[in-house]
Amino acid sequence: MMIRMFCFLFFLSMIPNIMAQSNFAIYSDEQMTSIARFERAAAYENLAYLLVVREIMLLSEADRRKLINKKTYNDIEVYNWLEDRLYSIINSLRSYQDIYADFLDLKQFSDNDAFIAEMRDQGYGKWLDYSLRFYRTYVLEQLKMKVLFPRITSEIDRLDSAEILGDEFQIMQFLLTFDDGPTRVEGSTDRIIELLRKEKIPALFFVLGENLNKRLSKQSASKVNELYRGFHIGSHGYIHKPHRISFDWKTSLDKTRRGMDLVGEVKKPLFRPPYGQRTKELLLDLKKNREWCVLWNIDSRDWNKKMHATEVAQRTIKLMLLKRKGIILFHDIHWRTAEIVPMVFDYFRNSPIQWKDANYLENLSH
């Protein structure tokens, strides 16, 4: 009885927290039913991001170094990157100013404190507090990747102009990608595919050769083919290790190509390196085989168990609004991803965004 009571009280204490997050994570819970609404929410996310960028630019060099805390830290490079973010976002906000001229005066934004006060006056205080916390974590994530690049490569930058990141899409176009599968029969891969079919939303699956072979040992190739029918699949290598010089990446790519030939849904050979780590040599090899390196610009972090499923969905939505377009990274090996994805779909239901089909990759040429 005591335990049950304790559990109940514990559950009650969780509610305000979750409720607060779902109410204030995104500047408005109005439905994304028009381009103007999408742009308005996107503009607010960009402004919150910029507040954080400017906050870090205003720090002393020593404080920035301490914050990022990486041996390879180079302040000029970091400062330039932040400045570049600042100007490119302000320029893109300007180009959409006609859409939000009625609610946003960019001149106001020249002073962080005044802008924050204005946002609080307009009743966006809770959203702003959540967003500042969110973007402090997010910008730091980006900066850490930036100072490691290219020694440790990631999605933060291109190593070659042919790499696909999603930032080259048209506004409001998004491509869903799911990595690391397939799972066992009737596992989360099946559950996610069923959900996508029901919603009629296309997606691209980057299969891990090892997992594909495991599934092929339990199920015929035609059954696996049926599972993926209508979707695109790409290669994520044979085993989930960084495909670096010290690793036999050629064998990893070849073995996965053979497994994928059996399944046969591949239209354009696509490769996504585990952890986004790749080398110039690997990219050259892809080019020779007329294959494409596909990265992402929206990382859901659905694998992070420290984040509640709702938080993962909110992170994805916020980043979709912040970037306005792009490739979203999910993992079909996590059961809860099948709960996160519908929350994102619901937010953008009846909205003008387009869930892109990986078909478009057919028209690209090296």
What b/e sequence results for 295-333 when a residue is b if at least 16 CB atoms lie within 10 Å of its CB, and e otherwise? bbbbbbbbbeeebbebbbbbbbbbbbbbbbbbbbbbbbb
Least separation in angstroms between residue 315's CB and Zn ion is 18
Q: In sequence order, what are the residues at sequence separation of 6 or more whose Cβ sits closer than 8 angstroms to the Cβ of residue 47?
A: 93, 104, 109, 115
Chain residues binding Zn ion by CB under 5 A are: 179-180, 274
Based on CB atoms, which residue is closest to Zn ion, 180 or 210? 180
Based on CB atoms, which residue is closest to Zn ion, 180 or 311? 180
Least separation in angstroms between residue 273's CB and Zn ion is 9
Based on CB atoms, which residue is closest to Zn ion, 163 or 179? 179
d(CA 216, CA 277): 27
Based on CB atoms, which residue is closest to Zn ion, 179 or 311? 179
Least separation in angstroms between residue 211's CB and Zn ion is 10
Based on CB atoms, which residue is closest to Zn ion, 242 or 274? 274
Least separation in angstroms between residue 106's CB and Zn ion is 39
Least separation in angstroms between residue 274's CB and Zn ion is 5
Based on CB atoms, which residue is closest to Zn ion, 104 or 208? 208
d(CA 26, CA 102): 20
Cα angle at 25 between 24 and 29, to 5 degrees? 65
d(CA 281, CA 58): 39
Based on CB atoms, which residue is closest to Zn ion, 149 or 303? 303
Least separation in angstroms between residue 208's CB and Zn ion is 7
d(CA 20, CA 41): 18
Residue nearest to Zn ion (CB): 179
For residue 171, with 0-12 CB atoms within 10 Å meaning exposed, 13-18 middle and 19 or more buried, which class applies?
middle
C-alpha to C-alpha distances, 274 to 180, 233, 242, 252, 363, nearest whole angstrom: 9, 15, 6, 11, 25
Which residue is associated with the tokens 């490691």? 148
Question: Quick one: which H or E segment has residue 222?
Answer: helix 221-228
Least separation in angstroms between residue 240's CB and Zn ion is 6
